[in-house]
Amino acid sequence: MNLQAIIEKYLSRLPEGIASRIFNSIKDIPFVRKEIQKEIDKMMAEMESSAKPYKVESFPQIPEQGMDKKDILSLMEEIKKKEMPQWKSGYVSGAVYHGDDAHINFLNKVYGLNSQSNPLHSDIWPSASKYEAEVISMTAHMLGAGQTGDEICGSVSSGGTESILLAMKTYRDWAREKKKIRDPEMVVPITAHAAFDKAAQYFNIKMVHIPVKDDYKADVAAARKAITKNTIVLVGSAPSFPHGVIDPIAELSDLAQKRRIGFHTDACLGGFVLPWAEKLGYDIPAFDFRLPGVTSISADTHKYGYAAKGTSVILYRGKNLRRYQYFKITDWPGGLYFSPTFAGSRPGALSAACWAALVAMGEKGYLEATEKILQTAKEIKEGIRKIPELHILGDPLWVIAFGSKDMNIYQVMEQMTHKGWSLNGLHKPPCVHICVTLRHTRPGIAGRFLADLTDAVAHVKAHPGDKGQMAPVYGMAATIPFRGLVGDMMEKYIDLLYTVEQK
């Protein structure tokens, strides 16, 4: 019996804390360590084949003689041809949210026109400030600005993670000055994005996780109990990445307001869907600045805003709060230096392309896109519910997580991979999700997904012992009680990504 089988049969049945202690106490026994290494080596081999699936010319060092530009472009075209078909065909969960050739070409032209722009040098490129200010304003008005007496302001960041990091750093510094809090804590649902855990680690903020209820929404009662005199911010998702459900933002933000702490709505995934869904008549619970307790919102323009990858917006209720985000130094020998976000120099071309995407789409474009996505998601949900072995987690709109009580869901995911699909494997509980984008709304894609999913379930049902290649990796990561070992595997995988093939 190998290590995974032992864990699945014995340790995974125990409470996590007890199982972890047992596993930790035996992991250094020679034969156990040998089994661990054997499993890790096997998994790393499988991961390498997926991380580096094709061989092209590599450059471990700067070449002595520069490569001809035509050859460089030819090499990149070769790589593009290998990578494009899967996402272009709509077989990928999330990742590419628009993907239409005309839209991509338009954004590429905008980027080319602004390729030298750098918002750090606002005197040289004042256009960058114009584009960013208007992106912020357009996003703010979409999310309730103008319907509240407060001024809603913000910044453009490089993505959702940076937006979340900026917000948490802002609350830490605000609480330090205004409330004299030296040991800050944040209260965050377990389903919130991992970027909040990253912020806790980076900024030395204690992470206090709260559970979700049976509907996968944050537990308000647990949040109430978790808040202490050191709490600086409470968080809710609209929707959560794993299960696509919207936390009870109204109740959570009201609690935060009463306790005089910040409240952050993470709308990175839903910020450019939910407002339009509401206008289309869908039952969308309040989540934005119309709720007086909401003090900040993150929304990704490079997802359903359909901008090029590399932009997001972080919004605040008032300039006084936003100022805690800024960096400035007044006595540096290099002169006066300041920046609104973490980066100094930034690609102004991405901000220009973001502005162009929002202006080109317009309200009508966003409404049409959202309607297509939600109708496609409805078709997919109805189809999944007709497969007896599967069930949908919660009541999602367009990010659809599904699991199974009858079979290994990761084996189902692996069969879908063999059919060309790239889906997201999730843990706690084991499930898989598909994040519906405009790529999936084209004719026949939803039907193909459901047909392939039905076949995948039938295959796993008929061949339950067929573990496959990647399913054991997901299964072990989900069941192994010693999380340090899983962390080691993740570190090795990152190392693998940065490995260059030597000539």
pLDDT value at 90 more than 60: yes
Phi/psi at 264 (5° precision): -110, 125
pTM of the full structure: 0.90
Q: What token pair was written down for 316?
A: 């605040």
Cis peptide before 429 (omega within 30 of 0): yes
Measuring CA to CA, which residue among 163, 327, 167 is closest to residue 261?
167
Cis peptide before 388 (omega within 30 of 0): no
Please list the alpha-helical segments (H only) found in 337-395.
Answer: 348-385
* b/e 87-118 (16+ beta carbons within 10 angstroms → b): beebbbbbebbbbeeebeeebeebbeebeebb
Q: What token pair was written down for 408?
A: 């290994």
Q: Name the band, by pLDDT with cuts 50, 70 and 90, for residue 286.
A: very high
pLDDT value at 499 more than 90: no
Q: Name the band, by pLDDT with cuts 50, 70 and 90, for residue 31.
A: low
**Highest mean predicted confidence (pLDDT) among 128-132, 474-478, 493-497:** 128-132
Neighbours of 12 (CB within 10 A): 16
- 113-358 shares its CATH topology with 363-471: no
Do the beta carbons of residue 348 and residue 125 sit within 8 Å? yes
Length of the chain: 503
Q: How far lies 55's CA from each of 52, 79, 289, 357, 502, in Å?
A: 7, 9, 49, 35, 12
Do the beta carbons of residue 473 and residue 39 sit within 8 Å? no
Question: Which pLDDT score is estimated for 475?
Answer: 58
Please list the alpha-helical segments (H only) found in 227-273.
Answer: 249-258
pLDDT digits 0-9 by tens, 233-277: 999 999 999 999 999 999 999 999 999 999 999 999 999 999 999
| Domain residue limits, the chain | 1-72+482-503, 113-358, 363-471
The percentage of residues in the chain with a pLDDT greater than 70, rounded to a whole number, is 87
Q: Given this structure, which CATH class describes domain 363-471?
A: alpha beta
Q: Residue with structure tokens 């900026």?
A: 166
pLDDT value at 3 more than 90: no
The CATH code of the domain at 113-358 is 3.40.640.10
The percentage of residues in the chain with a pLDDT greater than 90, rounded to a whole number, is 78
Question: Which pLDDT score is estimated for 54?
Answer: 72
pLDDT value at 50 more than 80: no
Measuring CA to CA, which residue among 36, 34, 28 is closest to residue 7?
36
Neighbours of 462 (CB within 10 A): 8
Question: Which pLDDT score is estimated for 491?
Answer: 81
User: Looking at this protein, which amino acid is placed at residue 265?
Assistant: T
Pairwise CA distance, residues 349 & 308, whole Å: 10
pLDDT digits 0-9 by tens, 318-336: 999 999 999 999 999 999 9
